[in-house]
Amino acid sequence: MPSTSLNRSLEYISKNKERFLQDFRTLLKQPSVSAQKVGIEDCARIVKKQMEMAGVKTKILPVKNGNPVVFGEAMSKSSSKTLLIYGHYDVQPPEPLEKWVSGPFDAKLTGRKIVSRGAADSKNNVTSFIKAAESFLKATGDVPLNLKFIVEGEEEIGSPHLPGFVEENAERLKADSVVCYDGDFDETGRAKISLGVKGLLYVELRCRKAREDLHSSYAPLAENPAWRLVWAMSTIKSPDDRILVKGWYDDVERFSPVQSRLLGKVPFRGQNLLKEWGLKSFLMARTKREALRRYMTEPTCTICGFKTGYIGEGSKTVLPGSAMLKIDFRLVYNQNPRKQLRLLKEHLDSHGFDDIQVRGLGFIEPSFTRPSAPIALAAEKAARIAYGSSAVVIPRNPASGPDYLFTKRLGMDSIWTGSGPPSAYSRAHAPNEYTTTEDFINGIRYIASIIECYASIR
């Protein structure tokens, strides 16, 4: 049964849901595209203002050469335990704009659906934990434990400056556990709790030959940089989806028996995903369970974009002077992105591709938290309170985030969870991203319940 303080908090949430929705839409209407450096400082100020209105002591902390971090703190009168909650206020670029049913920052409300960039990833979650803190402070005059909030503005570009910020502010960020409130629901509609995330190495490859594009009749005379990148990629990954870089799998830590048992309990409605994506089958998997295992446990190599020559309407017979492609590698425990970058460079050089420039753009280490961690147990209990159903606990989130800074650098247990439609359906990172009013309000109830349940664990 919920405690008295949680009951009062939940009642406050119910009474103020219209105002909470209004504040959520205010945040959504402010662009904050980190990749394009659009609206970042203005958005940080809105987050700060909303925290302060909630009763949270707040500062905007500058980050050298990076986007500012909003830091908030609410000290408890009754507990010495501290919970750090992480989120991000930046969003993905909205392009292609013509695909949106309304302006990407209009925060249009149609029935129960709110369509906006950031609606599902992740301004809904940021607003939720701010309002959860307010619900305790305004309804009870206290918070169940000390709360610290860190809201960054670079998650969507790989959090490049967050490691330095965490190192410089390690004392300020000290806590007993962490909730990275940047997740979504499981596809079954239940809360999802991730005990770690995959890492990420994001790389740009460039090759230049002629000073400019040439007439394609010169193909026998001039090297084609696009072919150089195509041939290079054919040495990096095989048709059976295996990465061919020497030593790539050396540091992969296989799932423990406990993790394997958790994986066996994860529901996976593969047909729903295939229908949503317009596909007939999963890659290199004969069954849904095999697809799930590969999704959770295997490193990946993905060409994210390829730019060269002429790509407009009709034909133009050119020989490109330069070519560029971007790749992301998802990494599993205990691969290190900087080591993997070195292996990639050595691989290209050894295969005769020393004319290709390799630039690392993103480095995120994988993370891990034990299933028995108190914060994980508290979140499971909170899900039952907030949603009336058990959570789906997954041993590893196949996406990536800066969770390792809390688990590896600061030595804390951390979970990755959140609210809102599953990313496969919410169109996160795509046009017409959305959440629902019900999911948003329930997300406030969920993080408030996590706060209370973690405070009560001895």
pLDDT of res. 1: 67
How would CATH label the architecture of 200-252+299-362? Answer: 2-Layer Sandwich (3.30)
pLDDT of res. 270: 86
The string of pLDDT tens digits covering residues 377-412 is 999 999 999 999 999 999 999 999 999 999 999 999
Label residue 458 by pLDDT band (50, 70, 90): confident
Q: What is the mean pLDDT of residues 300-329?
A: 97
Longest dimension (CA), the chain: 80
Which phi and psi angles does 444 have, rounded to 5°? -70, -45
CATH class label, 4-196+367-456: alpha beta
Distance from first CA to last CA of the chain, Å, rounded?
Answer: 17
In whole angstroms, give the CA distance from residue 25 to residue 362: 30
Exposed (0-12), middle (13-18) or buried (19+): which is 238, by Cβ within 10 Å?
exposed
CB contact burial 85-106 (16+ within 10 A = b; e otherwise) = bbbbbbbbbbeeeeebeeebbb
Domain positions in the chain: 4-196+367-456, 200-252+299-362
For residue 75, how many other CB atoms are within 10 A of its CB?
14
Sign of CA dihedral 169, 174, 175, 177: positive
Label residue 277 by pLDDT band (50, 70, 90): confident
For residue 289, how many other CB atoms are within 10 A of its CB?
14
Helices (H), 141-213: 162-168
Quickly tell me which residue has 């992969």 as its tokens. 252
Residue 173 DSSP class: T
pLDDT of res. 276: 83
Q: Measure Cα distances from 260 to 58, 192, 257, 330, 371 in Å.
A: 41, 17, 5, 20, 12
pLDDT of res. 214: 98
Quickly tell me which residue has 């119910």 as its tokens. 14
Q: What is the mean pLDDT of residues 316-343?
A: 98
Q: Crossing angle of helices 437-456/17-29, nearest 10°?
A: 110
Closest CA to 150 of 169, 137, 132: 169
In whole angstroms, give the CA distance from residue 433 to residue 184: 13
The string of pLDDT tens digits covering residues 186-232 is 988 999 999 999 999 999 999 999 999 999 999 999 999 999 999 99
Label residue 423 by pLDDT band (50, 70, 90): confident
Are 91 and 117 contacting, i.e. CB atoms less than 8 angstroms apart? yes
Joined together, the tokens standing for residue 315 give 């034909």
291, 294, 296, 300: CA torsion to nearest 10: -130
Are 362 and 267 contacting, i.e. CB atoms less than 8 angstroms apart? no
Are 32 and 90 contacting, i.e. CB atoms less than 8 angstroms apart? yes
The string of pLDDT tens digits covering residues 66-80 is 999 999 999 999 999
pLDDT of res. 67: 98
| Helical (H) or strand (E) element with 385 | helix 374-387
**DSSP secondary structure, 129-145, as one string:** HHHHHHHHHHHHSS-SS
| pLDDT above 90 for 440 | yes
Quickly tell me which residue has 């799932």 as its tokens. 255
Are 126 and 87 contacting, i.e. CB atoms less than 8 angstroms apart? yes
| pLDDT above 80 for 424 | no
**DSSP secondary structure, 89-118, as one string:** --B-----GGG-SS-TTS-EEETTEEE-TT
Q: What is the mean pLDDT of residues 2-9?
A: 93
Q: Measure Cα distances from 134 to 58, 74, 110, 296 in Å.
A: 13, 10, 27, 36
Closest CA to 231 of 359, 353, 357: 353
| Helical (H) or strand (E) element with 11 | helix 4-15
Label residue 340 by pLDDT band (50, 70, 90): very high
Joined together, the tokens standing for residue 146 give 């000390």
The string of pLDDT tens digits covering residues 84-138 is 999 999 999 999 999 999 999 999 999 999 999 999 999 999 999 999 999 999 9
In whole angstroms, give the CA distance from residue 444 to residue 135: 9
User: Considering the chain, what percentage of its residues have pLDDT values greater than 70?
Assistant: 100
Closest CA to 31 of 88, 101, 106: 106
pLDDT of res. 303: 98
In whole numbers, what is the pLDDT of the chain averaged over residues?
96
Which has more confidence, 429 or 2?
429
Joined together, the tokens standing for residue 362 give 């993103």
Closest CA to 418 of 186, 187, 188: 186
Are 31 and 43 contacting, i.e. CB atoms less than 8 angstroms apart? yes
CA angle 379, 380, 382 (to 5 degrees): 60
